[in-house]
Amino acid sequence: MVGTLLVVNAILSYGQVHRAAGVVKALRRRLQVSARVLRASTWQLVPARDLVPGDIVRLRAGDIIPADVKLLVGTLSIDQSALTGESKDADKAPGEVLSSGSVVRRGEGNGVVMLTGARTLFGRTTQLVQAARPKLHIEAVVAKLVRWLFVIVGVLLVGVVVLSLIRGVPLIDMAPLMLVLLMSAVPVALPVMFTVSMAVGAKELARRGVLVTRLSAAEDAATMDVLCVDKTGTITMNQLAITGVIALGQATETEVLAAGALASQEANQDPIDLAFLAEAKTRHVFDGLPRTVPISFAPFDAKSRRTEAVFEQDGQRLRVMKGAVRTLAEACALEPAAIAALEARVSDAAAKGYRTLAVARGPETGARTLIGLVTLFDPPRPDAKALIASLRGLGISVKMLTGDALAVARDIAQGVGLPNIGRVADLKAAGDQRGKNATDPLGGVDGFAEVYPQEKYVVVQRLQAAGHVTGMTGDGVNDAPALRQAEVGIAVSSATDVAKGAASVVLTEPGLTNIVTLVEQGRTIYQRILTWIINKVSRTILKAAFVAIAFVVTGKFVVSAFSMLLLVFMTDFAKIALATDHVQPSSQPETWNIGGFITVSVVLGIAMVAEALFALWFGWVRLGLATDNTALYTFSFLTLLYFAAFSIVSARERRWFWTKMLSKTLMVALAADALTGTALTFAGLPDLKPLPVSQMLGILIFAMLSCLVVNDALKVALIRWRVPHAAITKADKD
């Protein structure tokens, strides 16, 4: 049985390693593209992996940029969203560097290859994903727990062996029972119970739109105390929206929006065109206007920096344009002073994170008139502010990390309740002065602006070095290393395949509301595992100390090796049902510094030893157990069995045992365990003699009163003394 469990765990571990390798493979596949290269005075199509620095490459609309390239000739508009997560395209002029992995949306030009493969920004991201490894906190806890259990059992067994040698008991007679007691210290069922708990939680999360790709992430979510969130697509909508319309001259806002919408085309799916069309529809700008018939449409071009449309209205052909402010101002023949005034407005809007476009109209062949300015913005998600407040209510500190300029980041962050945003350069300077592990890198701030991709990874590492269990959200390739390094890496619904592959949690629905569900479910799983630990420690003390002390006092082993082995497996595997138990999540992040709970477990174990020994004394004196070894073995077996069942009922709740009802699965498992153990005493098994029903009922009632009255009161008092915060659940706080 133990060997089977080890094999299952080995298979699961191999699966996790294989999945991690798949992340890197996905990144490498993204690098396998072709490029048009000028070699030997001719243009050739070669695989991107064959490029070398110095090659001249041709880039056109639709191409994936095959390396880090410096643009020599031409102007391009490129989509960097897979790298940066930003929704809007970036315009590139000669002399600027184009990052590998970006997609050319408009324009064409020539460039020289600067860096290739692993030396590019994209390639360095691959290497970071390979190096990223979150710390598995539960492994350290289990290892420490097992060591202490062996110490407790070992000390008791050493005492028993020494006393046995003094009394002349042969070692060969003691060996089977000693081996069984040692095995009782091994958490045989913990791997299965842990896996089942994770699987049950993952199933519930999947039903609510949260996919857990690494089972331990749900448990890590319970202890997470810092969540780093990407701005674009996470806090914001990742889509442009019109936030302001400034009419110029005699024009009205409705006319400005109507002209801008006419200079847009839905089929192109351009974010700016869609923003104009959506705003025009919302404001009903075409209601009551004469019918328009489209004649022609010219999409945005990097050279013209505008879109144009010609339409017919009331028998007259008109031309409308929208685009860069300076471009349209010059096309409308404005004076330099007027252009300078317009650009000042653009600069003011840019400081707040707004993008400004101009709108013009006029006859098809005559002079155009600039009729207005329109500001666009990637707005915060409607649920972002409430979500951040909810997470703070759960004791989680939310930090925003974004590549935006400081002014833009502050404007967004203040709207969602994160007022204190700094520059990442300040973080690096502070880290250089004080050392990586000296202080909390995000203490006193709500996030950082001007963060490059590799710096998100460094921020996560420094938070972990400062003792935080860290979560990270993201959507782009640039976020993959940080998602992989964080204990809880969360890929949003719009994330790239690489980001989803690196993350341990994937949201299948827009927004971040389900992160609250993830945290609450994680804390529920934590409570179930903690119950198992409390019960394991107390019952290990009960079994080992009961046998050892009884031997010292009576000179007999009061339970046989066979019945003890049967008891270990029956009770340990019944506790797997704890994975389905009803528990209430706590209001604050959990911690695996559970010294207070271990103290409670030890005291409860000692109390059960005293109670079980009292029951044994009564049976020894009043029931004739001193002269009937098989009856003695059965009596001790049933005592330990019933104490095991009722101690679980008490240990599963941090308050009084009746506060929350047991799950049906756990109730059935415990009842079946007790009934099966009782029935086995009538089956003629070795060293198990049937006892009178009155004695069985007496043991049952005594164990129930001891665990659910005396020990439960002791448990509540100890928790209030040693771990007072544990008695406060989210429901209590609400």
Over residues 573-631, the pLDDT tens digits come to 777 788 888 888 888 888 877 888 888 998 999 999 999 999 999 999 888 888 888 88
- What integer is the mean pLDDT of 546-574? 81
In a domain, 568, yes or no: yes
Compute the distance between CA of residue 397 and CA of residue 388 in angstroms, rounded to an integer.
9
Same domain, 486 and 621: no
Same domain, 629 and 727: yes
Ranked by mean pLDDT, the top range of 71-85, 313-327, 479-493 is 313-327
More confident residue, 730 or 50: 50
Boundary residue ending a domain (360, 377, 394): 377
Same domain, 272 and 340: yes
Going by pLDDT thresholds of 50, 70 and 90, the confidence category of residue 27 is: very low
Region of 397 (left: φ > 0; alpha: ψ -120 to 50; beta: rest) is beta
In a domain, 231, yes or no: yes
Going by pLDDT thresholds of 50, 70 and 90, the confidence category of residue 310 is: very high
Residue 260's CB is within 10 A of a number of other CB atoms, namely 31
Which CATH number is 179's domain given?
1.20.1110.10
pLDDT at 314: 83
Same domain, 689 and 574: yes
Tokens for 549, please give them: 């002390």
Which CATH number is 316's domain given?
3.40.1110.10
pLDDT at 208: 82
Boundary residue ending a domain (127, 150, 176): 127
If you search the block for the tokens 């950082």, which residue do you land on? 448
Boundary residue ending a domain (106, 127, 148): 127
pLDDT digits (tens, 9 = 90+) for 112-143: 998 887 677 666 665 555 555 555 566 667 77
pLDDT at 108 over 50: yes
pLDDT digits (tens, 9 = 90+) for 186-199: 666 666 777 777 77
pLDDT digits (tens, 9 = 90+) for 360-376: 999 988 888 999 999 98
Same domain, 345 and 410: no
- What integer is the mean pLDDT of 518-541? 87
Which CATH number is 63's domain given?
2.70.150.10
Tokens for 217, please give them: 């992430």
In a domain, 9, yes or no: no
In a domain, 597, yes or no: yes
pLDDT at 20: 42
What percent of the chain is predicted at pLDDT more than 70? 83
- Whole domain around residue 77: which residue ranges? 28-127
Going by pLDDT thresholds of 50, 70 and 90, the confidence category of residue 5 is: very low
Closest C-alpha among 276, 203, 289, 216 to residue 242: 276
pLDDT at 17 over 50: no
Does the annotation mark 230 as catalytic?
yes
pLDDT at 635: 93
Q: Among 230-244, 599-613, 700-714, whose mean pLDDT is lowest?
A: 230-244
Query: How distant, in Å, are the alpha carbons of 364, 509, 543, 618 from that of 614?
Result: 103, 58, 14, 6
pLDDT at 128: 59
In a domain, 486, yes or no: yes
If you search the block for the tokens 């008791």, which residue do you land on? 156
Compute the distance between CA of residue 240 and CA of residue 274 in angstroms, rounded to an integer.
8
Residue 163's CB is within 10 A of a number of other CB atoms, namely 14
Which CATH number is 479's domain given?
3.40.50.1000
Domain count of the fold of the chain: 4
Closest C-alpha among 383, 525, 469 to residue 135: 469
In a domain, 404, yes or no: yes
Going by pLDDT thresholds of 50, 70 and 90, the confidence category of residue 16 is: very low
Compute the distance between CA of residue 247 and CA of residue 230 in angstroms, rounded to an integer.
35
Tokens for 414, please give them: 């203040």
Same domain, 496 and 421: yes
In a domain, 22, yes or no: no
Going by pLDDT thresholds of 50, 70 and 90, the confidence category of residue 30 is: very low
Same domain, 575 and 457: no
Going by pLDDT thresholds of 50, 70 and 90, the confidence category of residue 377 is: confident
Across all residues in the chain, what is the average pLDDT? 81
pLDDT at 11: 58
pLDDT at 458: 82
In a domain, 513, yes or no: no
What percent of the chain is predicted at pLDDT more than 90? 16
More confident residue, 698 or 544: 698
pLDDT at 235: 83
pLDDT digits (tens, 9 = 90+) for 427-439: 766 655 554 444 5
Asked whether 696 and 677 are in contact (CB, 8 A), the reply is no
Tokens for 211, please give them: 């996919």
pLDDT at 31: 41
Provide the 8-state DSSP code for 70: E
State the catalytic residue, choosing from 63, 79, 89, 230.
230
Would the pTM of this model clear 0.85, i.e. be above it?
A: no
Same domain, 487 and 459: yes
Same domain, 606 and 647: yes
Same domain, 484 and 526: no
Compute the distance between CA of residue 223 and CA of residue 2 in angstroms, rounded to an integer.
29
Compute the distance between CA of residue 412 and CA of residue 416 in angstroms, rounded to an integer.
7
Same domain, 526 and 495: no
Asked whether 21 and 123 are in contact (CB, 8 A), the reply is no
Same domain, 368 and 398: no
pLDDT at 129: 57
